[in-house]
Amino acid sequence: MKTIVLIRHAKSSWDHDVNDLKRPLSERGLSDASLLAKAFMAYNFKPDAIYSSPAKRALSTCNIFMENLSLSEELLSIEEQVYDFGGNRVLQFIKALDNDFERVMIFGHNHAFTALTNSLGDMAIDNLPTSGLVMIHFNVETWKAVTQGTTKMILKPRDFK
């Protein structure tokens, strides 16, 4: 059994004149990411690996989750391939994951994560909001075999306000 948790980065700030990779989180983004991380703590999910896009907003969201969930920094890898907005690069990345990993968290971007939620899971969504989280289980032995899974949860910040 393989399980993937996709977390869309929290709301970013457009108040800074920086390129896309360096855009920080907004105040709302900081609070929403913390809110979701605390809510997700109740599920006692222990990942074997954590991957983040190199974008500051994704990595900041990842760090908030790791801190709230008391996850070791040794689990984290920053992956250029996750800086994807369509979903194909992230899907290729998922299919190439180390088969020793059963539970993986990935912090990234839309529209990639909405597309992956709809193509890999069994529950359709219109949009995965900022700080949104989706968990999908796959009844397979290898990541390469991942196709259609079972959506186990979708968490959104507004569900906890």
Distances (CA, A) of 7 to 15, 16, 138, 150: 23, 24, 17, 17
Q: Are 25 and 79 in contact (CB under 8 A)?
A: no
List, as residue ranges, the binding site. 57
| CA separation for the pair 145, 128 (Å, rounded) | 24
Strand partners for 74: none
> What is the rounded average pLDDT of the residues 54-69?
98
| CA separation for the pair 155, 40 (Å, rounded) | 8
Q: Are 125 and 118 in contact (CB under 8 A)?
A: yes
Task: Specify the pairing of strand 49-52 against strand 150-155.
Answer: unpaired
Q: Given pLDDT bands bounded at 50, 70 and 90, which one contains residue 18?
A: confident
Q: Are 54 and 23 in contact (CB under 8 A)?
A: no
Q: What tokens does 114 get?
A: 């909405």
Residues 6+ apart with CB under 8 A from 39: 155, 159, 160
Length of the chain, please?
A: 161
Q: Given pLDDT bands bounded at 50, 70 and 90, which one contains residue 19?
A: confident
Q: Are 134 and 154 in contact (CB under 8 A)?
A: yes
Q: pTM value?
A: 0.96
Mean pLDDT of the chain: 95
> What is the rounded average pLDDT of the residues 109-118?
97
Q: Are 80 and 21 in contact (CB under 8 A)?
A: no
What confidence score (pLDDT) does residue 120 get?
97
pLDDT at residue 16 greater than cutoff 80: no
What is the percent of the chain where pLDDT is above 70? Answer: 100
Count Cβ atoms below 10 Å from residue 134 Cβ, excluding itself. Answer: 25
Residues 2-160, CATH architecture: 3-Layer(aba) Sandwich (3.40)
> What is the rounded average pLDDT of the residues 126-148?
97
Q: Is the preceding peptide bond at 111 cis, omega within 30 degrees of 0? A: yes
List, as residue ranges, the binding site for substrate. 57
